Amino acid sequence: MKKIVAFVAIILLATAVMAQVKLPPPGEGHEPAVPNQKANTLSVKNTKEHSKAEVLAANNKKRAYNLFKEGVKHYNDKQYEKAIASFRESAAVYPDNAKVYYNLGKIYQMQGDNKLARSYYEDAVKYDPNDSASLISIGMIYFAEKNYPKALEYYNQTLKVAPNYGMAYYNRGTIVGMNNQYDKAAEDLSNAIKLGFATEKVYVNRGLAYYYLKETTKACKDWKKAASMGSADGQKAVEAYCTKK
Question: Which tens digits make up the pLDDT trace of 201-233?
Answer: 999 999 999 999 999 999 999 999 999 999 999
What pLDDT does residue 209 have?
A: 95
pLDDT of 7 over the 60 cut: yes
The Cα–Cα gap between 126 and 109 comes to: 18
Whole-prediction pTM: 0.78
* Closest to 185 (Cα-Cα) out of 166, 164, 171: 171
The Cα–Cα gap between 97 and 192 comes to: 30
Mean pLDDT of the chain: 82
| 100 confidence band (pLDDT: 50, 70, 90) | very high
Question: 25-34, 70-79, 84-93: which has the minimum mean pLDDT?
Answer: 25-34
pLDDT of 9 over the 70 cut: no
| 83 confidence band (pLDDT: 50, 70, 90) | very high
| Torsion from C-alpha of 174, 176, 180, 182, nearest 10 degrees | -80
